[in-house]
Amino acid sequence: MGKKRVSDGLTIGYEWETLLLDKYGLPLKFDEIEHFIAKVRKEIPRSRTGTDWVPGLDRALYEIRSGILRNRNELEDRTKKTVETTLKLAKEENYRFLPLGSFPPVGSAIGFHIHTGSWEKTEGLQEIVNSIFPYVSCFAALSVNSPFWGINPTIPPFGVKSYRLKSHAQLMSVPMYSKPELSNIGWEADITLKFYSHPTIELRICDAPLSMTLVSELTAFVSSFIAESIKYPGTFSKQRFIEGIDNRIRAMRYGLQALFLWESKEREVTDILKEMLEFANPTLKDLGYEKLPLIEKMLQKRQTQADFLSYLFENYNGDLYDFTNYLASSLNLSEDPFDIYLEYAPLLQSENLMDINEYILSMVGNRTRYGSLYWVLYQTTEEFEKIIYELEKSKLINIEFDEEMGALFSKRSI
């Protein structure tokens, strides 16, 4: 790697997509959010907080942007200051603050993007991004926070802990490999070089956190892991890339209860994350962290924010619309209700290894098109077609070919 100018020390930061709801329980319109953001920026000089769009709705996200941070004090103080200011101003405007990985009544992907930097040029960084990719699904399992995705406002389809991840964040966070000598700058990959807007490595796979504490701890963990990976780079292999894509789906369904296929062996994701924490420890200490207490409790109990939300809904007498307004109105976010929940939450057991072939088979209908089925996994085309033709060989699906529509897949009657 050639010599290049870098920042004086590690820089970290995040973009935390959240919602502000109006009196009807809907995300704010763009003119309303822009007025609110102006008030936030007046209260917090040099605040980067801004807006983005809610996918699928003509409404606005409230995006808390940290700006450049260099240590624990800056990270936690800026996060706390912004949340407290947001809650105060929202009360004045009769708005409700709601940080979740989706807008429950209708879906819509709402994410948390973590930046690690800063560099003058990309030389040598794409190799690092590629080598980190297998670990991205572990961060996904830790951050799952979208167990509701509309469909039926009374009985949501329980069983998935991140519908945002299931939809690949509506194609705004997808698995991707770039050959270093042919790579270019994009924005939609799970982990990417974000040089067209920030000279950083950006992790995009995480659901937006409910917990203010998790915002800080997850930012520190991800950035420290990336920083240590730059010092001690791993290797990239086709097998690890394929496993990483399959493990995204396992993280999507089971969160921290997932078993991953890891270098051809079944492993609990919590054990892998513990090893990742140990690897990240030198940079965590440099940032000012001796421990990450919330994350450690999550790993100990295999509990995620999605489990917390499901627990609340199962004990709530109402539909998803009512429940969303309840969350926004009743949870004292400045006291971090998820951290309180973890104190009495039970230990969850690991699930069996999710069979990816069975998952693909469950998505086959009548004459399902190639593109529709491919989108389920976003796996390499070679691996995807290997799965499909294994299902045909096992007489579980029929394949027909149409010159205009291409391959069409149909589940066989039992």
For the segment 227-237, what is each residue's pLDDT rounded down to a tens digit? 999 999 998 99
Averaged over 2-7, what is the pLDDT? 50
Distance CA 138, CA 128 (A): 17
Tens of pLDDT, residues 23-72: 999 999 999 999 999 999 999 999 999 999 888 888 999 999 999 999 99
According to DSSP, the β-strands at 200-207 and 111-119 are antiparallel
Of residues 184 and 219, the one with the higher pLDDT is 219
Q: Find the radius of gyration of the CA atoms of the chain.
A: 21
Most confident range, picked from 5-14, 114-123, 133-142: 133-142
Tens of pLDDT, residues 138-195: 999 999 999 999 866 555 556 799 999 999 999 899 999 998 888 888 888 999 998 9
Of residues 346 and 333, the one with the higher pLDDT is 346
pLDDT category of residue 2 using cuts at 50, 70 and 90: very low
Residue 349 lies in a domain: no
* Residue 243: strand, helix, or coil: helix
pLDDT category of residue 330 using cuts at 50, 70 and 90: confident
Residue 360 and residue 308 share a domain:
no
Distance CA 248, CA 189 (A): 13
- In total, how many domains does the chain have? 2
Angle between helices 238-254 and 125-143 (to 10 degrees): 20
pLDDT category of residue 368 using cuts at 50, 70 and 90: very high
Query: On the CB side of 292, how many CA atoms lie within 13 Å of its CA?
Result: 29
Averaged over 302-316, what is the pLDDT? 95
Residue 252 lies in a domain: yes
Distance CA 391, CA 374 (A): 14
Question: Which amino acid, residue 150?
Answer: G
Q: Domain boundary at 344, 371, 394, which?
A: 344
Distance CA 281, CA 275 (A): 10
- List own/partner pairs for 333-337 with CB under 8 A and 24 or more apart: 333/83, 333/87, 333/97, 333/99, 333/210, 333/212, 334/83, 334/84, 334/87, 334/212, 336/211, 336/212, 336/213, 337/210, 337/211, 337/308
Check the CA dihedral 168-171-177-180 and report its sign: negative
Distance CA 359, CA 397 (A): 13
pLDDT category of residue 1 using cuts at 50, 70 and 90: very low
Residue 99 and residue 47 share a domain:
yes
Residue 350 lies in a domain: no
pTM: 0.96
Residue 340 and residue 361 share a domain:
no
Domain residue limits at 399:
356-411
Residue 284 and residue 405 share a domain:
no
Distance CA 103, CA 130 (A): 31
Residue 28 lies in a domain: yes
Residue 1 lies in a domain: no
Residue 391 and residue 300 share a domain:
no
Residue 297 and residue 237 share a domain:
yes
Residue 296 and residue 406 share a domain:
no
pLDDT at position 176: 92
Residue 229 and residue 190 share a domain:
yes
Q: What are phi and psi of 333, to 5 degrees?
A: -65, -25
Coarse DSSP helix, strand, coil percentages of the chain, rounded to the nearest 5 percent = 45, 20, 35
Residue 395 and residue 284 share a domain:
no
The CATH number of residue 133's host domain is 3.30.590.20
Residue spans of alpha helices (H) in 207-345:
212-231, 238-254, 269-287, 293-301, 305-314, 320-330, 337-344
Distance CA 81, CA 77 (A): 6
Tens of pLDDT, residues 385-400: 999 999 999 999 999 9
Tens of pLDDT, residues 257-306: 999 999 999 999 999 999 999 999 999 999 999 999 999 999 999 999 99
Q: Domain boundary at 294, 319, 344, which?
A: 344
Residue 351 lies in a domain: no
Residue 109 lies in a domain: yes
pLDDT at position 331: 85
What average pLDDT is seen over the chain? 93
404 Cβ partners below 8 Å, 6+ apart?
Answer: none
